[in-house]
Chains A and B, each alone.
Chain A
Amino acid sequence: MDIFQLQGYAYFGLVTLMVVILYSYIYHLYSSEKKGTKDFEKYGNMALNDEIDDAPVEKISKDEKK
């Protein structure tokens, strides 16, 4: 097997992997919001309420590792 064949397989494998990951990401985004476990749209408010004394959308709590 020469390097160009390897290149071909590597290319195909990686692209397939990336596509699977991308689609599972889409599935994750929409299903977790439908089930109500996550709310992604609230993050949009990070741009709107961005004064330094506004409450963060999700606060970093003291006891948690950053």
Chain B
Amino acid sequence: MFHWLEKHPFFFAVGVFLVIAFAGLVEILPNFAQASQPVVGTKPYTLLEMAGREVYIKNSCNACHSQLIRPFKAETDRYGHYSLSGEYAYDRPFLWGSKRIGPDLHRVGDYRTTDWHENHMKDPAGVVPGSIMPAYTWMFTNLADINTAYADQLTNAQFFNVPYNKPVPMKDGTTLTVPMAKSVAEANAMALEEAKTISADMKDKDVQDMVAAGKIPEIVALIAYLNSLK
């Protein structure tokens, strides 16, 4: 039987495929339904947060920062409560990262402010002496892509039943509804409203002028996203 296989390339290929495929089937599939259930307090991303998440991905922030707190004392001391599977239910893609050149960011919204991020993104070494993180000055002039973020939200709602416009349970027993716009025009207006609350806490004059003129720089969206990481 074995010898026969070695002379029949087609059946050989089928054999190889079966051997390599079955690990994936047994290991990965059964976990799927369970792992994607959100925990209480996890809510979908708002439009500006989603746009910020795309800025985060565009600049591969995940190449240097993890979003996964492991259950060790040293980690929970440094970054907060260890990460739970359900907290990632609305993360498409996941952004755990694989290398901490910089610190973990999974709960950065708990201990950093808009103001801190603004200064830090302009001049990391000025805020944290010795930092090897480069400055991300172009984020103060490039505009965030709100339309794509809106399309991202729509895709999440339509294909994956992410509960936009529906109440989700919060930790204090109340519910919270994350609204989603009905049209592109409304989406842009909503994002601008969100952007104004962020830029109000920022010092950069140019950023404030841009937001006042109806434009949203990438940095505003990114900070909205970072603040949402809790």
Contact = CB atoms under 8 A, between A and B. Distances in A.
Do A and B form a real pair?
A: yes
A18 B27 CA distance: 16
17 contacts: A3-B30, A3-B33, A4-B30, A6-B30, A7-B26, A7-B30, A10-B26, A11-B26, A11-B27, A14-B22, A14-B26, A18-B19, A25-B2, A28-B2, A29-B2, A32-B3, A38-B3
* Max count, chain B CB within 10 A of own CB: residue among A3, A4, A38: A3
Interface residues of A, number: 13
Given A3-B30, A25-B2, 15 more contacts: A3-B33, A4-B30, A6-B30, A7-B26, A7-B30, A10-B26, A11-B26, A11-B27, A14-B22, A14-B26, A18-B19, A28-B2, A29-B2, A32-B3, A38-B3
A2 B188 CA distance: 46
Nearest to A25: B2
Interface residues of B, number: 8
Interface of A: 3-4, 6-7, 10-11, 14, 18, 25, 28-29, 32, 38
Contacts of B33: 3
Interface of B: 2-3, 19, 22, 26-27, 30, 33
A25 B3 CA distance: 10
Nearest to B32: A3
Main secondary structure of the interface of A (DSSP, over half): helix
Contacts of B3: 32, 38
B19 to A, nearest CB: 7
Contacts of B19: 18
Contacts of A10: 26
B220 to A, nearest CB: 44
B10 to A, nearest CB: 10
Nearest to B7: A58
Contacts of A38: 3
A38 B33 CA distance: 50
Nearest to A3: B30
A26 to B, nearest CB: 10
A10 B33 CA distance: 18
A38 to B, nearest CB: 7
